[in-house]
Every structure is written in structure tokens, then in C-alpha cells.
Chains A and B, each alone.
Chain A
Amino acid sequence: MPSLRDIQSAFVEALFGGKDDWLSNHILAGEMAPGARLDLYRNNVLHNYREALRAVYPVIERLVGEEFFRHAARRYGLACPSTSGDIQDYGRSFPEFLATLPGAHELPYLRDTARLEWLVHEAFHAAEHGALNLAALAAVPAQRYPDLHFALHPSCRLLASHYPVHRIWEANQPARGVAEGVDLRLGGVNLLVWRRRFEVEMAPLPAPAYALLQALARGAALGGACEAAFAAGDGFDVGQALRAWVLDGVVARFDS
């Protein structure tokens, strides 16, 4: 009698493209051949995977079309099986996989657009956080500001792309009718993605603002983060930016 370990190992192998002759010998035939029964499970699994990808990557599906998406999801499913019992964790590496598919080079912005969709997915499910304590901040003497550590809201994600991915994302929302074209000459974008209450928001940022948030996200104190911001460009008002981020729930906490 085969062990449970051998059966489960062979089943998973067979499902993801390996041999199934040994396993087939341990499956009753009846009305359907064992291979056809395994096909049924394989198709169910790949269907579940694809539906999970469709939920996270609706803009990609719209950009490449249903047929290509189906093909891409099948290849991805066979190459990169899920590693979690929670299907909502599935698909993190889909952007990189997409970029390797034949035909994907015709849409050079595909990978970054997919990355943006994954970040939106992460932001949607990220933890809550209350508003920053403004009264406590006001009580801090100004000379101590450079030493303060500001923490971003748990939903905050940063994405830099050579393509206007926020415009592409916006123009290809499933709820929209015909997608308007996006002029790629608009160029790249430094993007902040975060969730305000339940809605995921995104904002393109000037280079210094982006550098500041990146530094804060890495755990730098405000003084060091400002140096990074000023190195990235001129004419940046740190005080104004911080106030706006506090009001928008981007900067969520500070520790002295």
C-alpha cells in the first residue's frame, strides 16, 4: 500500500506537470480514466489560481486581453504554485513572470503596472492605524525635530517607474468604458500608494518628496531624510509636505 506521503507528493508533482503513471495506478478508473480525473483537479486548481490573479490584476487583464491573460495565468500557475493556504497571498511574483513571456516586450510598462496592482492589493489589506498625535508633536521643541522618527501608515507603498503607470492604471479600471490612450511620453512617475479609511489612493510625488518618504520608510530620522530629499531636488518645503501627509494619514506616528 502506498504511503500518504508518496500519494500527496506524486499528486502535487502530477498536478504541476510531472509524470502521473505511478499515481494513476492508485486511482480507480470507473467511468473516467485516472488521467482524466487528475486533469479535472489540475484544471480546478489552475482555475482557482487564475481567479485569484484576476482579482488582483484586473488592469493587466484589460491591457493584455482575456485570452493572453488566461495563457499567462496557466503558465504562471504551473511554474509558480501557491505557497499559502490563503489564496489572497498568491501572485506576488506575477509582474516579473509577465515580463518574461513572449510578446510582453510589446508592452514595456506591463511589469510596473502589474507591480502597482500588487501594491494596491497589499494596501487594501494592510493593518489599520490611528491618526498621528498632533498635540504631542506640537509639544516637541523644534531643535529636536531632526532626531524624530516618523513612521508611515502600514498601507504605504512606494513605486518608481519609467512609465506613467498611475495614468495607465486609472485609464484601464474595469468599471471604465473604453480605455482612453495614455501618452507614454508623459514619462515616469514616483508614486505613493496608501489606504485612506477603505479606499486605496495613489499620488505622484516630486523627487524630493519621494526620497523623503523612502528614507522615512527605511527608518531614517527626519534630519537624515531631509538630506536625502534635498539631494534629490530643489525647492522642497518639508514642513508643508509633512503637514499634508499627516492630514492624509500617510505619516501615522512619530517616535522621539
Chain B
Amino acid sequence: MAITGGPMEPPHQRLPSRLPPREGIGLRAAHYRELLATRPDVGWLEVHSENYFGAGGQPLHYLERAREHYPLSLHGVGLSLGSVGPLDREHLRRLRALAQRMEPAMVSEHLCWGSFGGRHVNDLVPLPYTEEALEVVSAHIREAQDFLGREILIENVSSYLQFAHSTIPEWEFLVEAARRGGCGILLDVNNIYVSSANHAFDAALYLDAIPAPLVREIHLAGFDRGPDCLIDTHGTRVAEPVWSLYRKALDRFGRVPTLIEWDTDIPDLAVLVEEAQKARTMMEAGVAEPA
């Protein structure tokens, strides 16, 4: 289906993203002390925004210490941009308060939904890729950006199901949501790989469909093999075919800030840094800065 494309929103006065074009790692509670004591040579840190929604205490303290040494990215998992109905204003307020306190270089969310009628599944559920969903999600992106007073990125999720009434390929939906919402894209290369295996599409074609200027960040993570499909666990090292896809992504998008994500079975900090170094080596291997 051809996408007609809504009118472009007038540009807002928003904070631009400022992550350095380097490798980053996810900061998790288990590594607070070691990270601050050893300050590994990585370019930036990313945390799940909601983990710092509390009013005070240890998490916020360590995050404030960490941001003194590294640029920070806030990555949300619970805003549910794709839910019908209004965005959760309380959630947005907590996110804005955190962003004001931490002054992150980047704020990102997911292109998915996770709540209906006050019930939250606290998971990333794919949308039907339809014109209706596109309107819902892009309106929410604009609302979130206006509320936060800054640009956000939206990330493609991995998925284990597809809706029969989807009329738009996922990659087109992602690009169009970013265009209509007026935001950037966080491209999760592992999620593309997982979904391409689960839904039998060509991951390289997915990359080719994304305009390079929209891509501001890349995620890499590990998956597990379930009995019938690949499961996006973020609990292992990045798999070899995902590294290959990442090389293609670097060719296409240039040197984009790249995160090693690890959320379950958290390994030693050294393992994260090692994976990040691998991404850095690939980034530096003859890839020029994006224009």
C-alpha cells in the first residue's frame, strides 16, 4: 500500500540529541559501584527511564554520579505510545521530571503498545500496522515531544505475532510514524533480526527502507532460540548474524551511537564493555562520520 503521508508538523524548538557517535552500555543496578570505581572507556550510558521514577534514594543518587562522567540516554519501556486513548499524563510527568533532573542527551520510547483500560502488561506488544494505528501513535509521539519539550526516538520492537489486517510493512510503518510524529528512530538491529526470522522477511531490505538521517541510535542485544521462534531476551551476547547485520547498518547509516543492551542474567561489567568494544571496532573500521 502506498502511504499518503500526513502534513509535516512545524518544527518545534526542541533539544537536539547529543549522544556521541560511540559505543554505549546499559547501566544496571548491579554495576553502579564498579562502574563509578573503574570508569570503563565507553562513550555513554543508557538506563530504563522507569527504574528512576522513584522520588529519591540510591538509584537516583548513582545515576547522578554516573552522569557526571558519561553522557546519558533515557530509554522508556512503559509510556505505551501505541495505546488507543490518552497518554498517561502521570507517567509523562514522571518522565519529564527525570529528564529535567538528569538532562539526558537522548530520550527514547518504543513503537508498540502495552496498556488498555488501565491494565498494563509491562511488555512491548506489536501494533497492527494500519493507517489507524499510524494516526494514534504519531499523535502520541507529538504529544509526548510537546510535553517533554524535546525530541524523542522511537524504537522498533521484536515480535512473536503479526496481525492479519496489517496493511503496511513494519519498516514503512516505522518510518512513517517517525515522519508524522516528527521524531527520530532508534533502530534495534537485534529486533530486526529476531522479527525477520519469526516472520520470514529479509532483514537487509528492512535496513534499506530506513532513511539514514532518521536513525540516531542503534541497539544491539542477544536473543534466545525458543522451540518455534526466536525470543528477544537481552540475556546473552550479540549473535553473529546480528553483528553481520550491524555491519550492513553501519554501511548504510554511518557511525551511529550504538548500545549493548543486556537486561536479564546480567553479566560482569567487563563482558558488557567487551561487547561494546566489539561494536566500537566495527564502527572505527573505515566507516566515516555521517554527513
Say yes or no: A12-B117 contact (C-beta < 8 A), given A127-B55, A195-B57. Answer: yes
Q: Is A125 an interface residue (CB 8 A)?
A: yes
| Inter-subunit contact A88/B53 (CB<8 Å) | yes
Cβ-based interface call for A26 (8 A): yes
- B-side contacts of A38, CB under 8 Å: 161
Docked CA distance A66–B77 (Å): 27
The answer on a CB contact under 8 Å between B94 and A37 is no
CA distance A15 to B125 in the complex (A): 12
Give the number of chain A interface residues (Cβ < 8 Å).
48
In the assembled complex, the Cα of A2 lies from the Cα of B163 at a distance in Å of 10
Scan residues 112-132 of chain B and give those whose CB is less than 8 A from a CB of chain A.
113-123, 125, 127-128, 130, 132
Interchain CA distance A124-B199 in the complex, whole Å: 43
B51 is an interface residue with CB less than 8 A from chain A: yes
Q: B84–A88 contact, CB under 8 A? A: no
Q: How far is A194 from B148 in the complex, measured between Cα atoms in Å?
A: 33
* Residue in B59, B78, B84, B162 whose CB lies within 8 Å of A84: B78
Asked if A241 is at the interface (CB within 8 A of a chain B CB), the reply is no
B160 close to chain A: CB less than 8 A: yes
**Closest Cβ of chain B: how far from A240's Cβ, in Å?**
29
The docked-state distance in angstroms from the alpha carbon of A37 to that of B57 is: 39
Q: Encode contact with B along A49-93: 1 for CB under 8 Å, 0 otherwise.
A: 100100000000000000000000000000001111111101000
Tell whether, in the assembled complex, residue A126 and residue B78 are in contact, meaning their CB atoms are under 8 Å apart: no
A177 within 8 A of B: no
Q: Contacts A27-B162, A32-B228 known; A87 to B55 CB distance under 8 Å? A: no
Q: Is the CB of A154 within 8 A of B56?
A: yes
Cβ-defined partner of B116 (8 Å) among A2, A12, A25: A12
Interface size on B, residues (CB 8 A): 50
**Given that A34-B161, A38-B161 are known contacts, is A125 also in contact with B78, CB under 8 Å in the complex?**
no
User: Is B88 interfacial (CB-CB < 8 Å)?
Assistant: yes
Cβ proximity bits A18-33 to B, threshold 8 Å, 1 near / 0 not: 0000000111101110
Does B80 count as interface, using CB distance less than 8 angstroms? Answer: yes
CA distance A124 to B127 in the complex (A): 36
**Given the complex of chains A and B, what is the CA–CA distance between A52 and B77 in angstroms?**
14
With A4-B84, A37-B161: A49-B127 Cβ-Cβ less than 8 Å: no
Q: Is the CB of B79 within 8 A of A125?
A: no
> Distance in Å from the Cβ of A5 to the closest Cβ of chain B?
5
Task: Tell me if A85 and B88 are in contact (CB < 8 A).
Answer: yes
Quick one: which of B55, B58, B164 contacts A154, CB cutoff 8 A?
Answer: B55
Q: How far is the CB of B14 from the nearest CB of chain A, in Å? A: 23
Give me the interface of A with B, judged by CB distance under 8 Å.
1-5, 7-9, 11-12, 15-16, 25-28, 30-32, 34, 36-38, 40-41, 44-45, 48-49, 52, 81-88, 90, 124-128, 154-155, 195, 198
A and B contact pairs by CB, cutoff 8 A, 8 listed: A4-B130, A41-B125, A44-B123, A81-B120, A83-B118, A84-B120, A85-B122, A198-B57
